[in-house]
A and B are shown apart, each in its own frame.
Chain A
Amino acid sequence: MGHGERYNGPEPEHEAASGLWRSETMNLVRIHVQREAAHDTIQQLGALGIAQFRDVNAAASSFNRQFSNDVRRCEDAERRLRYFEEQMKRAGKLPECRTGEDQEMVEQLDKLEERLESLEAELKESNANYERLLTQRNDAQEYKEVLNQDRSFFRGESPGGSSGLLDEGGADTSSTRTSGLRYITGVLPEAKHNLFERLLYRATRGNMFFRVNNTKDQFIDPATGKEVPKLVFVVFFGSRRAEEKIRKICESQQISTYPYSIDDDTNEELNKITDQLLTVNRTIDMTEGSRGQLLQTVAQNIYNWKKVVITEKSIYNILNLVNYQGQTAQAECWVPLRSMNGVREALAQAEQESKAQVPSFLEIIENTKEIKPTYYKTNKVSGSFQDIIDAYGMARYKEVNPGVLTIVTFPFLFGIMFGDVGHAFIMTIFAALLCKFEKKLQATKLNEIVQMVFSGRYLLLFMGMFAFWTGFLYNDMFGIMIGPFAPSGTERQPSNYWYFPESIADANEKCDDGYVAHITGREEIACPLKEGASVYSFGIDPSWAETSTKLAFMNSLKMKMAVILGVGQMFVGECLQLLNHIRCNDKKSIWFRWLPEVVFLMFTFGYMDVMIVIKWLTNWGVEMANGHGPPLLLGSMTDFFLAMGAVQDDAYLFGGTSMQTGIQSFLLLCAVLSVPLLLLPIPIIEYRNHKNEAQNYGGLHEDDEEAHGEGEEGEAWDFSEIVIHQIIHTIEHVLGCVSNTASYLRLWALSLAHAELSEVFWNFAWMLGLNNDNGTGITVFFFWSVWFAVTIGVLLLMESLSAFLHALRLHWVEFNGKFYYGDGYKFAPYDIPDLIPKPFVYVASFKDQE
């Protein structure tokens, strides 16, 4: 079953179900344009996003292509833009994303390149200036800090202390020498304090005195633009040799030292440095201003520039896929049939705009051997359902798309598991709000999890609505049963079909006669009312609530329902498989794959469903009166398989023991026979076909056997592989029928869990508080909060997630497994608008960094 089978009939322009039933018809189109018009043509097509280009020169390596130089130019422009972005982020500037055509957005790449280049140079120069000035300012500031220190600091005195490390001595010639001790002063970053002190200690073997003081000013590191705390230090030591070492260390650690004389007056120096600082600060302000203006210009335009560069780069990348011969260029692309006119228009327009002399034209390549891409034109509602299917596997070109049925079956199966009016109502309202404000929400950057929920909002809405509907079928609301359609004041109204007798006598009076015989002595059992009583009008009779048999009843009902739905959905899957075979005119698969599969499924588990329905429809009251009680279906099914279809102990369901035995034996025989029918014929047919082909072929074209071997056949034909594949498929199907049917029981299990959890929470988190309330309302408030929190957290969030996942699994494994190949590849058109970041996303990327 490779991609080999191809449909050769006419391809319709529009498929059924708004074009979703099968993927869009694809054409392989070859476009011929004049060389000069190629750029415009690609741009026009890219703006529409309707064509997926194929690489015509796949053999050429990436740098041997026509336009790799232009791609490189674009990359260079991108690099410059990244530099601007980084500078803007550092300066805390946000880009202004003006959209609309009035902007200078239709800038040519050549011009833009020049502009970016000169801007980059300007900005770099301005930055270098700024950094230089900052360094100057830091130096001046550091010197000022040193000069500003209190005298006592340099004498090693403690601020209030009396005796200093140095005695007042006579003025020395060396500025860094007093009383026989030398000293060096300077400023170091706080982070290096420990390291520096340790190095000094090591270098002088401990013969030194080191002290630091905090600085008043702030220092900005010119390289990073961040603030760096710094310390003023002074170190005293004895020898000249040590001084040399210490200076070396300062140099290696990039710590600046400043001359300071303990005896000279520092005022003059201080004034000089203060003046210098003023000048530097003024220059810094000016530089900052001009740099700000420069960045402002960048901020105004950068989004549009980015657009141009991204667009041009993508165009050149596509142009690299095009084949050039002389004056013409040939491009090959996949185009959906419905977009053919768009392509023609784009060609015409590009031809006009580029003033090409040779008219552009396109040819459709028929009978291509290439596998066509799969494309569905979805809208925002169907898209979210299609995504579920695509996540499993892209449909093969033109195979039946399970996405259509999924729109209904997915939320329905979810609803079965999540059916509760109250919970579903909250969910529906939430999803509806998401849908209502979708425009607003789309224009904001959402948190990742919220974004995930948001993109599935229509899915969520449908799930909510279906769960609301099934909630009514179950008549469940927050775990308690409601009876909206019962006549008012109606506990155990005779209008109900079911009755819960309090005693045998009560039962004798009201219940259907057949049952009464069977309920000897057991209280609180439900029985059908005497004939003529009406049925509860919608869904499950709420009278079941508060009875001890509620759970048993619900289990039986939901379990049977789950199996019926499961076999039903699998049968639909088989029917879709039939449609695929019919379309490919694949008779072999219809008779020897589809037919045995359906027979096996329907004659066993399909029959079980029929029995369930028959048992439901039979009026057992009447039957029991005639001495025929209801058989256990479990036993019937066990006998069906183990006793060769025989009905034992007269436990027949319909038509009498012998008739049912006859029917069952026939069904079982068919089911058993369908297994070899599935296993054997296909390998045999394949084998014979291959043999015939080889004979015909060998006789006809003996000479060019090699060409054939490489071309059409491709892979070697391997009989054992086909046989093994068929064996696996057969086993998988036979076991799958059992396990998949059992798998649908998750519908029952999840539904049961949901109902039980809601009921437990209701009773223990809320009713318990209500009963114990002493009138103040505090307990009510507290317990209600607990109940509400648990309802939201466990039931609405966790339970819905688990129900969602189980519905997903049932669709992917049990349903899709019956027919879906899912080995196609997605149509990925060249779409320029899709490449360009949305304005709000772009602006947000600047905010994230901070």
Chain B
Amino acid sequence: MGLTGDLWTFNVGCGGLEAIVHGLANGLLRQEDYHNITQCDSLEDMKLHLAGTDYGQFLQNEATLSSKVITERALDRLVNDFKWLRANAPWPLGEFLDYITYEYMIANVLKLISGARSGKGTLELLQKTHPLGQFEGIGALTAAQNIDDLYDLVLGDSPIGKFFQRTDRTDFDEFSMEYIRSLLHKNYLEHFYKFCEEIGGDTWMVMKDLLEFEADRFVVTLTRNTYGVKELQKDERKKLFPEVGQLVTVHEDLANIDDDDALKDKLRPFPDLYALVQDLSMDDPANSLENKFMEKSVQLHKDSLQRQFHYGSFFSLVKLRELEVNNLMWIAECIIQNHRHRINEYVNIFEA
């Protein structure tokens, strides 16, 4: 039954919070809401429509509307909801929620470093970081001049320090950045996976699927992105694969692959993954692998929200809400730039 308790005891600590999560999930924009806001001629109309949803009066203090303002306020709403949940979470839910934020912290760290490399001001960079991925002293990252500094200065004390291992690379060239990103993400997934296993119970059952899918997605994407990259030795490539997921058994093979056909061949024993890659073609963006993975993950998150007595619903809510914010940004941008024909390319969370 794990640390979270089960049918009998889960509600003692987390029943209220879980109920709120399910309530918030019910407030996700539905197909008809999307249908309405994609019909809008201006952002003002969009605001009017969103006022009728759970977003309510979130834009009421904005004098002028832009897609940036809409996105920021929508993100604020997500952050506020999340912070509220975090503030009320008992152990170990609190730690679980922290794990959700680590992913954003990693993204922020990399964003700051690469920004600082290209000579942008610290303040400007700090404003661009994701609000869920803030931690104390994050700004000092811009003072780091090489990878050792990075760890010494900030990461060592930060919550994501544990995902960072010393590497033999010391400079911030473009390739090392990608390398660090992959390394951190791999370690993040493995730690999170292990943590969920410790929690056990229904949480483990749900999160196992979600994280394994994330890991497989990461492995396949990484493999595809590193076809023929000379700097990355085959065995190093394998080192970046998280030791989680269905694909663990074929990591050795995947590390040696350099084209799509071989990839398809290797994925053949995994029907659900093979289904995603089988019609792969480089030309059709709407049919890209990224979109297919996205659709699949939306489905998994929705499934997780159908269940009760586990923490996975918190994770799924954050992910779906984040997608929703991205959708709003996309739609707002399309409205402003009058790209009507592309407005429906948002990620469909609830099919018609």
Contacts and interface: CB of A to CB of B under 8 A. Distances in A.
A251 B153 contact: no
B11 interface: no
Interface stretch (A21-29, A196-204, A680-688): A196-204
A695 interface: no
B61 A202 contact: no
Interface string A132-163: 00000000000000000000000000000000
A731 to B, nearest CB: 34
B137 A195 contact: yes
A96 to B, nearest CB: 24
Contact of A205 (B61, B139, B152): B152
Most buried by A among B141, B143, B154, B156: B143
A82 B139 contact: no
A86 to B, nearest CB: 9
B123 A254 contact: yes
Contact of A79 (B63, B136, B141): B63
A79 B61 contact: yes
A63 B48 contact: yes
A72 interface: yes
B73 to A, nearest CB: 13
Nearest to A194: B136
Interface in B19-72: 36, 40, 44-45, 48-49, 52, 60-63
A772 interface: no
A202 B48 contact: no
Contacts of B140: 199, 203, 248-249, 252-253
B123 A202 contact: no
A61 B39 CA distance: 11
B122 A195 contact: no
Contacts of A802: none
A245 interface: yes
A345 interface: no
Contact of A63 (B45, B62, B123): B45
Contact of B152 (A61, A72, A202, A251): A202
Given A199-B137, A199-B153, A249-B143, A63 B63 contact: no
B60 A79 contact: yes
A68 interface: yes
A213 interface: no
A439 to B, nearest CB: 35
Contacts, number: 67
B38 to A, nearest CB: 13
B48 A203 contact: no
A62 interface: yes
Most buried by B among A68, A203, A249, A253: A249
Given A61-B36, A198-B157, A68 B48 contact: yes
Given A195-B136, A202-B153, A63 B142 contact: no
A292 B49 CA distance: 39
Interface in B205-234: none
Nearest to A198: B157
A62 B52 contact: yes
Nearest to B143: A248
Interface string A234-264: 0000000000010011011110000000000
A75 interface: yes
Most buried by A among B48, B62, B126, B141: B48
Given A248-B142, A248-B143, A252-B122, A62 B48 contact: yes
Contacts of B149: 203, 245
Most buried by B among A72, A248, A253, A254: A248
Contacts of A252: 122, 126, 139-143
Contacts of A62: 48-49, 52
A202 B63 CA distance: 44
Interface string A54-76: 00000001110000100010011
A203 B143 contact: yes
Nearest to B40: A63
B142 A202 contact: no
Contacts of A83: 61
Nearest to B125: A252
Nearest to B157: A198
Most buried by A among B139, B140, B145, B154: B140
B227 to A, nearest CB: 38
A203 B157 contact: no
A249 B142 CA distance: 8
Contacts of B145: 245
Contacts of B60: 75, 78-79, 82
Most buried by B among A82, A202, A254: A202
Contacts of A248: 122, 140, 142-143
A260 to B, nearest CB: 22
A63 B335 CA distance: 16
Given A79-B60, A199-B140, A251 B156 contact: no
Nearest to B48: A63
B32 to A, nearest CB: 11
Nearest to A251: B122
A61 B126 CA distance: 41
A130 B61 CA distance: 22
A190 to B, nearest CB: 15
A61 B46 CA distance: 12
A68 B126 CA distance: 39
A72 B59 CA distance: 12
Contacts of B122: 248, 251-252
Interface in A451-488: none
B2 to A, nearest CB: 36
A61 B40 CA distance: 11
Contacts of B48: 62-63, 68, 72
A83 B153 CA distance: 41
A82 B44 CA distance: 19
A236 to B, nearest CB: 18
B321 to A, nearest CB: 24
Contacts of B63: 76, 79
A62 B145 CA distance: 55
Contacts of A205: 152
A159 to B, nearest CB: 31
Nearest to B112: A252
Contacts of A76: 63
A460 B225 CA distance: 77
A655 B123 CA distance: 102
A651 B48 CA distance: 79
A72 B44 CA distance: 9
Contacts of B152: 202-203, 205
A199 to B, nearest CB: 5
B139 A253 contact: yes
A72 B152 CA distance: 53
B49 A202 contact: no
A253 B153 CA distance: 13
14 contacts: A63-B40, A63-B48, A78-B60, A79-B60, A198-B157, A199-B153, A202-B153, A203-B143, A203-B149, A245-B143, A245-B145, A249-B140, A249-B143, A252-B142
Interface of A: 61-63, 68, 72, 75-76, 78-79, 82-83, 195, 198-199, 202-203, 205, 245, 248-249, 251-254
Given A62-B48, A202-B153, A245-B149, 18 more contacts: A63-B40, A63-B45, A63-B49, A68-B48, A72-B44, A199-B140, A199-B154, A202-B156, A202-B157, A205-B152, A245-B145, A248-B122, A248-B140, A249-B153, A251-B122, A252-B122, A253-B140, A254-B139
Q: Which 4 A-B pairs have the closest CB atoms?
A: A248-B143, A252-B139, A252-B122, A63-B45
